[in-house]
Amino acid sequence: ARTEGTTTGSRTMGRHGVSSIHAALDDFVTKLKRGQLETNSIALARHATEVLIHAVAAQQAPTTQGIIDGVRAVSKEMVDARPLELVVGNMCRRVLHIIREEADDRADDGEEGHDVMRAFKAEVIEVIGELVDELESAQSHITGHALEHISPQCVVLTSGGSDVVEAFLREANRKRKFQCVVAEGAPTFGGHRLAKRLADAGIECTATSDASVFAVMSRVNVVVLAAHGVFNNGGVFTKGGGLSVALAAKKHSVPVIVLAGLHELSPLGPGDREFEMNDLLSPAEVIDYTALADCLPAAASFSAGGPGGGGGGGGGEGG
Helix or strand or coil: residue 184?
A: coil
- The pLDDT, as a whole number, for residue 252 is 97
Distance, in Å, from the CA atom of 86 to the CA atom of 63, rounded to the nearest integer, reads 30
- The pLDDT, as a whole number, for residue 306 is 54
Q: What's the angle, vertex CA 189, arms to CA 183 and CA 191, rounded to 5?
A: 40
Domains parsed from the chain with CATH numbers: 11-136 (1.20.120.420), 145-264 (3.40.50.10470)
Q: What's the angle, vertex CA 236, arms to CA 249 and CA 229, rounded to 5?
A: 145
Q: Which residues of the chain have pLDDT under 50?
A: 1-16, 309-319
Distance, in Å, from the CA atom of 108 to the CA atom of 114, rounded to the nearest integer, reads 18
Measuring CA to CA, which residue among 81, 116, 78 is closest to residue 96? 78
Distance, in Å, from the CA atom of 285 to the CA atom of 162, rounded to the nearest integer, reads 18
- The pLDDT, as a whole number, for residue 169 is 96
- The pLDDT, as a whole number, for residue 319 is 38
- The pLDDT, as a whole number, for residue 107 is 67
Question: Dihedrals φ, ψ of 119, to 5°?
Answer: -65, -35
The pTM score is: 0.78
DSSP per residue, 4-66: HHHHHHHHHHHHHHHHHHHHHHHHHHHHHHHT-S-SSHHHHHHHHHHHHHHHHHH---SSHHH
Distance, in Å, from the CA atom of 88 to the CA atom of 177, rounded to the nearest integer, reads 37
